[in-house]
Amino acid sequence: MTALSPAAQAMLNEFSACKGWEQRARLLLKHGQQLPALPPELRTDKQLVRGCESPVWCQPDWPDGRLQLQLDTDARLLKGLLQVLRVRLEGLTAQQLAEVDLADWYSRLGLARQLSSSRSNGLNAVYQYVLYCGGRAGADTSPGCAGSCQQAATNR
């Protein structure tokens, strides 16, 4: 399993201190605000990850072989969940990415339910999408693999 980055470790500490769903929700909202909005020109169908009831736009890049991840959505708590995903994944190589235990990550944050209900919020679909793009990153770094996201999402 891929180790946590310092940012991820810090996030884990914050969530671990939460008592109950209410504090966790407020913390999620706070982290959601730290997710930079995707520029409108990137909010296109090409970046749209299907398999989510709320649309999620996703732009992964590997500038120096390490993931840089832009994510956006309209719902505020989902933004927080995406930020949680981003903090866990950013900076990883495609290889490390594949070895992330996402279920473990969310569950350590007390957010296991949010991952398991991801048929509607699509966290898993986003991860699969990034993974897929990462796999082909050598061959093709352009954001053109949206077509297979739904496949990725439903095959999980």
Partner 1 sequence: MTGTLTSAWRSEFPGLQQLAAEGQTWLDSAATAQKPRVMLDALQHWYAGGVANVHRSQHRPGERATTAFEQARRDIANWLGCDAASSLVFTRGTTESINLLAYSLSTSFHPGDEILVGAHEHHANLLPWQQLARRKNLVLRILPLDAAGALDMPAALAMLGPRSRLLAVSPLSNVLGHMHDLTPLLQRARELDVLSVIDGAQYAVHRQPNLAQLDADFFVCSAHKLYGPEGVGLLYAHPRRHTLLQPWQWGGEMVEHCDYQNASARPLPLGLEAGTPNTGGIIAFAATLNWLETLDRAAIEQHESALHCSLLGGLKRRGMQLLGQPDTALACFNAPGIHSADLAMLLGEQGIAVRAGQHCAMPVLDSLGLSGAVRVSLAFYNNGEDLERFFTALDAALEILA
Q: Which residues are catalytic?
A: 52
Q: For the stretch 95-124, what's the b/e string if a residue is b when 16 or more beta carbons lie within 10 angstroms of its beta carbon?
A: ebbeebebeebbeebbbeebbeebeebbbb
| Contact call for residue 120 and partner 1 (CB under 8 A) | yes
How crowded is residue 14: how many other Cβ atoms within 10 Å of its Cβ? 14
| Contact call for residue 30 and partner 1 (CB under 8 A) | no
Among 62, 119, 131, 132, binds partner 1 (CB under 8 A): 119
| Contact call for residue 101 and partner 1 (CB under 8 A) | no
Give the contacts of 24 (CB within 8 A, at least 6 positions apart).
15, 18, 109, 110, 111
Per-residue binding letters, 54-83, with partner 1 (x by CB under 8 A) = xx------------------xxxxx-----
Q: Which stretch binds partner 1 (CB under 8 A): 2-10, 50-58, 85-93, 136-144?
A: 50-58
